[in-house]
Amino acid sequence: MSETRSSRTHWFLLAGLLLAAVYWCSEAFLHSTAFHGGDFLMELWPSGNVHELWMRLFTVALFVISGTIVDNVIARLRRAHRGSAALVVELRRSLAEVQTLTGLLPICSVCKKIRDDTGYWQQVEMYIRDRSDLEFTHGYCPDCAAAARREFALVLETDDTARQHTSHQEPMR
């Protein structure tokens, strides 16, 4: 990656230098024809006019700096494009994994079975498992656990009472 970056930087640097040379020569040509009667070589390096020399050097530096700035902007845009392309791929993959149930779902008010498209009634767990990648585990919520304990305690009391009654009865003759 560093080789690509450095070679790209060299290309922009060379482009900036080439533009600077074209600018320098065209500026010298225009000055020589307009002000000095066609002495192009005299204007190529304006030794007598320091202001003109500094302006050209400043312009050349701007061309080179511009090439470097353009290189950095293009590199950032390429990185951003690669990042957004990867994000689009990830979002498409995630969207493909999402399965959504939509519409009206006929469900029994008592047993909570669901009627499928063929008219067959099946448990909620089976219906959802068949239409998604979900697997169910079963447990008790706190309310149902308390109710189950109360019901189990009643069953135990009833069994104990029934046993006590049968033990007190006299055997049949």
* Cα 9 from Cα 12, distance rounded (Å): 5
The pLDDT mean for the chain works out to 77
Element (H, E) at 115: strand 114-115
What is the structure's pLDDT at 1? 47
3-state secondary structure (DSSP) of residue 103: coil
What is the structure's pLDDT at 172? 58
The whole-angstrom distance between residue 57's C-alpha and the CA centroid of its chain comes to: 46
3-state secondary structure (DSSP) of residue 122: strand
**What count of Cα atoms within 13 Å lies in the side-chain half-sphere of residue 128?**
10
What is the structure's pLDDT at 121? 93
Q: Which residue has the tokens 């900036």?
A: 16
Q: Which residues of the chain have pLDDT under 70?
A: 1-10, 13, 35-36, 38, 40-44, 46-48, 99-101, 160, 162-163, 165-173
What is the structure's pLDDT at 122? 92
Specify the pTM: 0.38
